[in-house]
Amino acid sequence: MTAWLGIDLGTQSVRALLVTEDGTVLGSGSAPLGGRREGVRHEQDPGQWWDGVCAAAGAALQGRSRVRVGGLAVCGTSGTVLLTDGAGRPMSPALMYDDARAAEEGKRARAAGLAVQDTWALPKALWLLGTYGPGRITHQPDLIVSLLTGELPPTDSSHALKTGYDLQRDAWPTRVFPENTLPDVVRPGTRLGEVSPTAAEATGIPAGTPVIAGMTDGCAAQIAAGALRPGAWNSVLGTTLVLKGASPTPVRDATGVVYNHRAPDGSWLPGGASSVGAGVLDALFPGADRAALDAQAAAFEPSGVITYPLVAQGERFPFLAPEATSLSLGVPDSDADLWAGLLQGVAFTERLSLDYLDHLGAPLDGPLTFTGGGARSAYWNQLRADVLGREVRVPRETEPALGMAALASFGTGATPTLADAADGMVSTGTVLEPQANRTALFTEAYARLIDELEARGWLPEEVAGHARERL
C-alpha cells in the first residue's frame, strides 16, 4: 500500500497525516508548539518546529512499516519568516504571521511601490536583516525541508508571496533586499530532494522519501476542501476568517486586500483574510459551553445587537481599515443574545467578503465549502448558509496536512493534476441547503451593518453600493 505524508506547521501544533489516494487516514500525529507574545510581537523558537515534526511524523508512521510513503509535503503559516546562516542554521527567532513590529519597514516598502501589509513577511524580513545582520531569508517550511533533505532548498512561490515575490513575473523585488539574502523559488509541487538517512532516523520517515515543495496553510486547507476548480471557494473559519478560491486568471484588487497565490498548474488561487472570526468567542466567553450557547442563540434570530466582531484594532479584508475597531449596534438582552449577535456578525462579514469578491469580478459560481474550527458547530454552519443564501458543503476531513498529502501525491506523479489528487482524497460529510425564509430574516440587519461600516469610512462607497445591489 502507498500513502502520502502531509505535515502542517501550525501556530499551536505540528500535525502529520498519512493518507492513501482514496482519502483513508492510516496514521496521524501531533505535537504542541509554544510561542511568545508581547504587544504587537509574536515569536516562536524555530527549533521547536523540528522537534514537533519528529514527534508528529513518528506517531503518524508508527506501526506502518508495510506502508510505502510515496512522498511528503510541508505547509506553514503564511508570512512567518526567520534568518538562517549559510549552513541553514537559525540566526533569529521566527517572526510569526501576525507579528506587527515591522510597521516602519512596511511604510518603506509601500513607498517603494510594493503592495504589502505590515504583517507580511517582506517588512519583517527587512526588520530581521536590520536587527541581526546579513543572513538568508527563510520561511517556516524551508527550515524543515533543509533538515529533512540535508540541503539548502529553494522556497516555494506560495510561501514567497508575502515576502514580495511577483508570481506573474516570477521575480523577487531585489531593489529592497540586500544581495545574497533571497532563496531561489520553485512552484509548489516541485520535487526538492529526498529524506536523508539522518532525518529518517530522527523522524521515522523512510530514507529516500521524495520531498515536495508545499504551500501555505491557507492554500493547504483549500486543497483539503477540494476547492481547486474555477469558481470554487473555501471559507476557513478559525480564529480569523479566510476565504480562498480558484480562478483561471488573477483577481485584480488595487487595495491589496485580495491577493493571488498560484497553483502548481499555473492557474490562480485568490483570497483574503479577515481579522473577524471565532477568536471573538474565546475573547468574550472564555471557557464557555459553546453547544449550549448555540442552542440558546436560536431564539435570537435576528439578534438584538448587530456586530462587526473584531478582537483587536484593524481590518484587512473585505476592506482595509487599520483604524477599525469592534462595533456593536444595539444592546443585547442576555449572553445568549450577544452570542447570537457575534455568530451573525461573523456570517455578515463572510457575506460581505463574497459581495466584495463579486465586486472585483471573481468567479463565484462553483461550490462553497466550510472548514476550520468554526465548522464544527452545526448550528453556526446552517446560520452561515442561511445568511449567505447558498448551498454549502462541509468536508469530512479538513486539516491542512491532508492538503499537503494531496500535493505530495501530485508532485510525485501519482495523479495528473492537483485537483484530481484532491478529488480522490476529499469526501463531503454534509451538504447544507439555505432556507429562504431565514435568509430574509437577516437582510435588514446586514443592510444596517453595511450602512454603519460605510458611515465610519471603513467600507468604500462603491463596495457598499455593490453589496446593497445584491441584497
On whether both 162 and 307 belong to a single domain, the answer is: no
Averaged over 194-219, what is the pLDDT? Answer: 97
Structure confidence by residue, pLDDT tens digits, 76-89: 999 999 999 999 99
On whether both 51 and 200 belong to a single domain, the answer is: yes
In this predicted structure, what is the pLDDT of residue 306? 98
Q: Coil, strand, or helix at residue 136? A: strand
Residue at which a domain ends, from 167, 182, 217 = 217
Q: Is residue 429 part of a domain?
A: no
In this predicted structure, what is the pLDDT of residue 153? 96
In this predicted structure, what is the pLDDT of residue 372? 84
Q: How many domains is the chain partitioned into structurally?
A: 2
Percent of the chain's residues with pLDDT above 90: 89
Structure confidence by residue, pLDDT tens digits, 180-205: 999 999 999 999 999 999 999 999 99
On whether both 242 and 388 belong to a single domain, the answer is: yes
In this predicted structure, what is the pLDDT of residue 55? 98
**Confidence class of residue 287 from pLDDT cuts 50, 70 and 90?**
very high
Q: How far is CA 226 from CA 20, 420, 433, in A?
A: 16, 9, 19
Q: Is residue 426 part of a domain?
A: no
Could you tell me the three cell numbers for 446?
Answer: 446586514
In the chain, how many H helices and how many E strands? Answer: 16, 22
On whether both 143 and 232 belong to a single domain, the answer is: no
Place of cell 472570526: 277
**Confidence class of residue 12 from pLDDT cuts 50, 70 and 90?**
confident
On whether both 104 and 237 belong to a single domain, the answer is: no
Q: Is residue 428 part of a domain?
A: no
In this predicted structure, what is the pLDDT of residue 356? 98
**Confidence class of residue 117 from pLDDT cuts 50, 70 and 90?**
confident
In this predicted structure, what is the pLDDT of residue 43? 96
Residue at which a domain ends, from 217, 237, 268 = 217
On whether both 360 and 250 belong to a single domain, the answer is: yes
Averaged over 104-110, what is the pLDDT? Answer: 95
Averaged over 257-279, what is the pLDDT? Answer: 92
Given a contact cutoff of 8 angstroms between Cβ atoms, the answer to whether 135 and 82 are in contact is: no
Structure confidence by residue, pLDDT tens digits, 361-384: 999 999 999 988 899 999 999 999
Structure confidence by residue, pLDDT tens digits, 438-465: 999 999 999 999 999 999 999 999 999 9
Given a contact cutoff of 8 angstroms between Cβ atoms, the answer to whether 299 and 293 are in contact is: no
Q: Tell me the pLDDT of the chain averaged across its residues.
A: 95
Q: Which residue range forms the structural domain that includes residue 281?
A: 226-397+435-469
What does the DSSP assignment read for 418-461?
Answer: HHHHHHHH--EEEEE---HHHHHHTHHHHHHHHHHHHHTT-S-H
Q: Is residue 183 part of a domain?
A: yes
In this predicted structure, what is the pLDDT of residue 144? 98
The CA distance from 143 to 252, in Å, is 32
Q: Coil, strand, or helix at residue 409? A: helix
The CA distance from 170 to 408, in Å, is 23
Q: Is residue 417 part of a domain?
A: no
Comparing 118 with 55, the larger pLDDT belongs to 55
On whether both 87 and 65 belong to a single domain, the answer is: yes
Q: Is residue 407 part of a domain?
A: no
In this predicted structure, what is the pLDDT of residue 8? 96
- Least Cα distance to 37 among 12, 8, 7, 13 occurs for 12
On whether both 256 and 212 belong to a single domain, the answer is: no
On whether both 337 and 360 belong to a single domain, the answer is: yes
Place of cell 468567542: 281
The CA distance from 320 to 358, in Å, is 17
On whether both 280 and 386 belong to a single domain, the answer is: yes
On whether both 158 and 203 belong to a single domain, the answer is: yes
On whether both 195 and 271 belong to a single domain, the answer is: no
**Confidence class of residue 14 from pLDDT cuts 50, 70 and 90?**
very high
Q: What torsion do the CA atoms of 53, 55, 58, 59 make, to the nearest 10 degrees?
A: -120
Q: Is residue 420 part of a domain?
A: no
Averaged over 404-427, what is the pLDDT? Answer: 95
Comparing 194 with 218, the larger pLDDT belongs to 194
Residue at which a domain ends, from 198, 217, 236 = 217
Q: Is residue 411 part of a domain?
A: no
Q: To 5 degrees, how large is the angle CA 172–CA 173–CA 174?
A: 90
In this predicted structure, what is the pLDDT of residue 353? 98
Structure confidence by residue, pLDDT tens digits, 53-83: 999 999 999 999 899 999 999 999 999 999 9
Structure confidence by residue, pLDDT tens digits, 335-362: 999 999 999 999 999 999 999 999 999 9
Given a contact cutoff of 8 angstroms between Cβ atoms, the answer to whether 224 and 242 are in contact is: no
In this predicted structure, what is the pLDDT of residue 265? 87
CATH for 391: 3.30.420.40
Q: Which residues is 315 bridged to in the sheet?
A: 321
